[in-house]
């Protein structure tokens, strides 16, 4: 298959791209490499996939030295004309849109970034699908769409009309926009509601990364809602496995020509572990992996955040045979091993 992966210098996009390349798909990766967090991490991921920093240039393809089936281009989702150009030339089978302004808390600080990338940018992706007969658009949604819903576990059949952050509102909007475009223009769209993804090459703004960073510096970590939080932490390899299963089917790529109903064309799935973990247990796991007892600062709940997430993954399981298998112990250790290696941390003193 020929696949456009947007956000391919990002955490999930990098891992997905690598998986697809290794099994032989042709991938064009696209990312604007913005500085929401340390760009060195983004260039580091690209370099792991054979794209050197020096070769990256705006709207010009770099070819991977490691994977002949990989080219990467630095471009912004807001550039509709350029997106249309590459879609017309490349004739992708699938677009996997992972590029977005991520992060719940930052949406209280810089809301415009969310509108630009997640609303305007997503509309541009939909327009490209419409114009170029893309058979399947797979895109990142988020567990945050469940907002104030307190029915557990979160099921795709639950109402998601009470988001509590602009980030969540943009992700919910993506689901509605995708449904509309599937209905009007007859192409397949699948939204994936990811649940707290973690693992090697993860995001510095997320708990595992920022806690590790602070603990190793001997700084206290902030524990919100006094630790009364539960998260459905999902290891990156399980997320990639889920995305690939959705890219591969069971939806036939011929669906586009068969004028099926809009309901079968547009769908949304939870991809989580299906096993929420108490925040304090998560921190204990991290402490034991690092061999350090950290200094904890108990804090009130943050605006925009929810106390608990828990994915009902039955739909992914039954439709795509999705079976997450990585335990928190294995996942946290894999992250710490990567972190120590990446930041060249030889030994950790108590």
Helices (H), the chain: 11-22, 39-48, 80-90, 111-114, 121-131, 166-185, 207-216, 236-248, 262-265, 279-290, 314-320, 328-342
Q: Identify which of residues 186 and 267 has a Cβ nearer to ligand NAD in the complex.
A: 267
Q: Identify which of residues 186 and 283 has a Cβ nearer to ligand NAD in the complex.
A: 283
Enter the DSSP assignment of 214.
Answer: H
Smallest distance from ligand NAD to CB 261, Å: 27
Does the annotation count 82 as an active-site position? no
Cα atoms found within 13 Å of the Cα of residue 104, Cβ hemisphere only:
20
- Report the alpha-carbon distance of residue 328 to residue 270 in Å, rounded: 19
Q: Identify which of residues 208 and 290 has a Cβ nearer to ligand NAD in the complex.
A: 208
Instruction: Using DSSP bridges, classify how beta strands 266-271 and 94-97 pair: parallel, antiparallel or unpaired.
Output: unpaired
Smallest distance from ligand NAD to CB 340, Å: 21
- Report the alpha-carbon distance of residue 26 to residue 69 in Å, rounded: 5
Smallest distance from ligand NAD to CB 258, Å: 29
**Which residues contact ligand NAD by CB under 6 A?**
7, 9-13, 31-34, 42, 76-78, 98-102, 117, 121, 140, 142, 194, 196-197, 203
- CA 65-71-76 angle, to 5 degrees, is 135
Enter the DSSP assignment of 118.
Answer: I
Smallest distance from ligand NAD to CB 144, Å: 7
Among candidate residues 231, 306, 311, the one with its CA nearest the CA of residue 269:
311
In sequence order, the 6+-apart residues with CB closer than 8 A to the CB of 319 are 250, 269
Q: Identify which of residues 12 and 186 has a Cβ nearer to ligand NAD in the complex.
A: 12
- Report the alpha-carbon distance of residue 305 to residue 227 in Å, rounded: 13
Smallest distance from ligand NAD to CB 137, Å: 13
Given a contact cutoff of 8 angstroms between Cβ atoms, the answer to whether 225 and 307 are in contact is: yes
Following CA atoms 313, 315, 320, 321 in sequence, which dihedral angle do they give, to the nearest 10 degrees? Answer: 60
Place of tokens 């249309």: 84
Smallest distance from ligand NAD to CB 103, Å: 8
Q: Identify which of residues 11 and 339 has a Cβ nearer to ligand NAD in the complex.
A: 11
- Candidate list 167, 235, 326, 339, residue with the active-site label: 167
Closest residue to ligand NAD in the complex (CB): 10
CB burial class (10 A; 0-12, 13-18, 19+) of residue 341? Answer: exposed
Q: Identify which of residues 83 and 215 has a Cβ nearer to ligand NAD in the complex.
A: 83
Catalytic residues: 167
């Amino acid at each position: 298959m020929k696949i456009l992966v947007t956000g391919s210098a990002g955490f999930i996009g990098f891992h997905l791209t690598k998986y697809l390349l290794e099994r032989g798909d042709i991938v064009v990766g696209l990312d604007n490499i913005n500085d929401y967090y340390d760009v060195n991490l983004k260039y580091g991921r690209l370099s792991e996939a054979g794209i050197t920093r020096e070769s990256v240039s705006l709207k010009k393809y770099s070819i991977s030295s490691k994977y002949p089936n990989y080219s990467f281009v630095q471009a912004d989702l807001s550039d509709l004309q350029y997106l249309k150009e590459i879609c017309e030339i490349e004739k992708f089978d699938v677009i996997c849109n992972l590029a977005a302004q991520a992060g719940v808390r930052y949406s209280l600080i810089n809301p415009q970034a969310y509108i630009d990338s997640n609303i305007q940018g997503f509309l541009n992706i939909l327009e490209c699908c419409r114009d170029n007969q893309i058979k399947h658009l797979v895109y990142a949604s988020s567990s945050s769409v469940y907002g104030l819903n307190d029915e557990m576990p979160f099921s795709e059949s639950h109402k998601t009309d009470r988001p509590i952050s602009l980030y969540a509102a943009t992700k919910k909007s993506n689901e509605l926009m995708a449904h509309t475009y599937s209905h009007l223009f007859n192409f397949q769209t699948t939204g994936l509601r990811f649940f707290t993804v973690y693992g090697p090459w993860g995001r510095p703004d997320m708990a595992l990364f920022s806690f590790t960073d602070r603990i190793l510096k001997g700084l206290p970590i902030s524990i919100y809602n006094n630790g009364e939080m539960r998260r459905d932490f999902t290891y990156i390899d399980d997320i990639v496995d889920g995305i690939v299963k959705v890219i591969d089917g069971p939806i036939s790529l011929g669906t586009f020509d068969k004028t099926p109903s809009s309901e079968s064309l547009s769908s949304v799935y939870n991809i989580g572990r299906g096993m929420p973990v108490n925040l304090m247990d998560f921190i204990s796991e991290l402490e034991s992996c690092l061999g350090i007892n950290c200094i904890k600062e108990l804090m009130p709940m943050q605006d925009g955040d929810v106390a608990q997430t828990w994915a009902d993954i039955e739909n992914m399981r039954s439709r795509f045979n999705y079976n997450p298998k990585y335990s928190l112990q294995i996942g946290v250790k894999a992250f710490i091993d990567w972190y120590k290696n990446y930041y060249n941390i030889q030994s950790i003193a108590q």
